[in-house]
Structure 1
Amino acid sequence: MAELPDWMRPPRPEGWLAEDLDNLPDAPRHTELIDGALVFMMSPQRRWHSSVIFALRTHLTRQAQEGIVVDSEMTVRLDQHNRPEPDLLASTASIDGDATWYEAKDIVLAVEVVSPESEHRDRAVKPHKYAEAGIRHFWRVEDVESITTIYVYELDDMTRTYVPTGIFRDTLKVDLPFPIELDVQSLYG
């Protein structure tokens, strides 16, 4: 068995910290930090996945209110041991061009587009972490029997968990986190 490269060894017994992600020059793109452990996106992306992300980012950017930025391929610092990378996010913060992450307090929407290798993280781990960090809105996008489906959730402040507010297969129309209307099936095809 090959020896691990030095950059894969945690710098401390309790694991990696959020700021460590910026000091891993040889780490693969889309490296996330979940509970102090590095998580790598190693499998190739399906065309459906990348197409939906691109189309959704385009629609959200066009509809975002002034002061809201839609972004992708950026991590969110939830706490000292968690810096996941949602597929898309909407933020009220304007960060500079050298920034590599957003703060959770500025995120108004986190979106995960589920792929086979990330299914558990996107359905269970990340939503739980986003809710604990106080991110008010979460969407999960899935390919359900070749039908693009968006599951929309809102944070329940009392339980600090997400409650479902809708499942959309045709037209998605919501007022929060800002007014959004889109043809779900046009995201891929």
Structure 2
Amino acid sequence: MTVVSSLPDRPLTLDDVTRIAEADTNHRFELSEGNLVVMPPGTWRHQEISLLMSAWLLSHGYRGRVNVAPGVRTAADDLNGRIPDLVVTTGSIPADTVWLDPAQVALAVEIVSKGSERMDRWLKPVEYAEAGIPLFWRVEPDDTVVQFRLDGNRYAEYGSVPLDDLLAGDVPDLS
């Protein structure tokens, strides 16, 4: 087990989280109002869904715009950042980027797992919407993909499809 032995006596920043993540590759780290959120690696199911969705997007012309578990800034300050399970960006991203600006994200995807239900269903969608990310998809434990589109500063559901049906079809326009 990795233990963070010395943390600053102030709210953490995204730069702090980047350094922590470099030292501990066994966990995923997010930042909420300067508070560190630590998550274990995803389950086999969780990782498989990320892989399947990534392969689907890559095979449909989104190469260079799809990544698994990138950092996304969720506020204008340096105290808030989340790690969606998958993103599609609006264009190419420099290779050394750690924290994406939300304006660079066309779609954020969260895969609901035991222990992340409230975060993935209630907290993250609010933060992504307020950050202006146009599309948000949530994969439920029954493999239903619930699709949302930004409507003002909140998401409105526009579709719900079984994961296998989604992956068997064409990728919608994510620009």
Into which bin does the TM-score normalised by the smaller protein fall? 0.7 to 0.9
Q: TM-score, normalised by structure 1?
A: 0.78
Q: TM-score, normalised by structure 2?
A: 0.84
Q: Deviations over 1:39-62 (max 9, x none)?
A: 1112x5322111111000110122
- Counterpart CA distance in 2 for 1:140 and 1:156 is 17
Match of 1:51 among 28, 48, 51: 48
Does the residue aligned with 1:49 lie in a helix, a strand or coil?
helix
- Counterpart CA distance in 2 for 1:155 and 1:11 is 37
Structure 2 unmatched ranges of 5 or more? none
Does the residue aligned with 1:171 lie in a helix, a strand or coil?
helix
Q: Is the CA contact (8 Å cut-off) linking 1:112 and 1:122 kept in structure 2?
A: yes
Is 1:69 the equivalent of 2:65? yes
What amino acid maps onto 1:78 in structure 2?
A: T
Larger radius of gyration: 1
Q: Is the CA contact (8 Å cut-off) linking 2:69 and 2:87 kept in structure 1?
A: no
Q: 1:162 to 1:176 in 2, by over 3 A?
A: farther
Q: Deviations over 1:10-62 (max 9, x none)?
A: 441xx1122322222434531111222111112x5322111111000110122
How many residue pairs end up in the alignment? 165
- Counterpart CA distance in 2 for 1:112 and 1:65 is 18
- Counterpart CA distance in 1 for 2:52 and 2:113 is 16
Runs of 4+ in 1 over 6 A off after TM superposition: none
Does the residue aligned with 2:83 lie in a helix, a strand or coil?
coil
Q: Is the CA contact (8 Å cut-off) linking 1:154 and 1:164 kept in structure 2?
A: yes
Cα displacement (A) at 1:92: 2.0
Cα displacement (A) at 1:114: 0.8
Alpha-carbon RMSD across the aligned residues, in angstroms, is 2.1
Q: 1:134 to 1:103 in 2, by over 3 A?
A: same
Q: Is the CA contact (8 Å cut-off) linking 1:64 and 1:70 kept in structure 2?
A: no
Q: Percent identity?
A: 33
Is 1:101 the equivalent of 2:99? yes
